[in-house]
Amino acid sequence: MVYNETDSPPPESDDLRKMVFAALFAALISVGAYIRVPIPISPVPLTAQVLFVFLAGTMLGKKWGTISVLVYLLLGIIGLPVFAGGASGLGILLGPTGGYLVGFVFAALLIGYLKEIRTPERFISNASIIICGLAVIYLAGVTQMMAVADLELIEALTIGVVPFVIADLIKVSIASYITTKYEI
């Protein structure tokens, strides 16, 4: 079927567009792993990945935002150097910091879900939704760090959350601003 500019595009084109953007966000999350600042008191480096996870959830919604993060993780599992510092493999996901990566999936899902049911158009509403996703990432990361590295909660929070709060809130602000101003 052919359509012109006055007709609506076929429904498949929206899915195709979202699929392309999901691939783009998987690539951006991968690139974000290379934008890395080591923190002396933590095995978890400061990266730009989480910003792109936030944007994937807010801009692509729960389905395609989650798919973009899953594609990113699959690329790393099969051996492409897409994790922080160019690391790859299933061992990274099973290691002390792997919970943060697993948390990316659930963060994108939750952010996308909340965005779809609330459709906020204000900065503060978007920021609130994104903070919920950040909390999921921290929860998954700290839980796995405690289990794998045999840390107490205070130790895991000290090395896995505290050093990142300010930088992550800046990323929340950036993602909220972008989401408020632009849509895909």
Q: Is the pTM of this model over 0.85?
A: yes
Structure tokens belonging to residue 133 = 């996703």
E strands, 77-163, are none
Domain contains 46:
yes
Residue 51 in tokens: 């910003």
**CATH number of the domain enclosing 88:** 1.10.1760.20
Show Cβ contacts of residue 132 under 8 Å, excluding neighbours closer than 6 positions.
110, 111, 114
Cα-based distances in Å from 42 to 46, 116, 158: 9, 35, 8
Q: Tell me, yes or no, whether 33 lies in a domain.
A: yes
- Domains in the chain, number: 1
- Per DSSP, 8 falls in state P
Closest CA to 157 of 149, 131, 172, 169: 149
Q: Is residue 35 part of a domain?
A: yes
Token couple for 180: 């408020």
85 within some domain: yes
Taking the chain (184 residues) in runs of 10, the rounded mean pLDDT of each run is: 55 85 98 90 85 98 98 98 95 97 99 89 93 99 98 96 96 96 86
Per-residue pLDDT, 15: 86
Residue 71's domain comprises 20-181
Residue 144 placed within a domain: yes
In a domain, 176, yes or no: yes
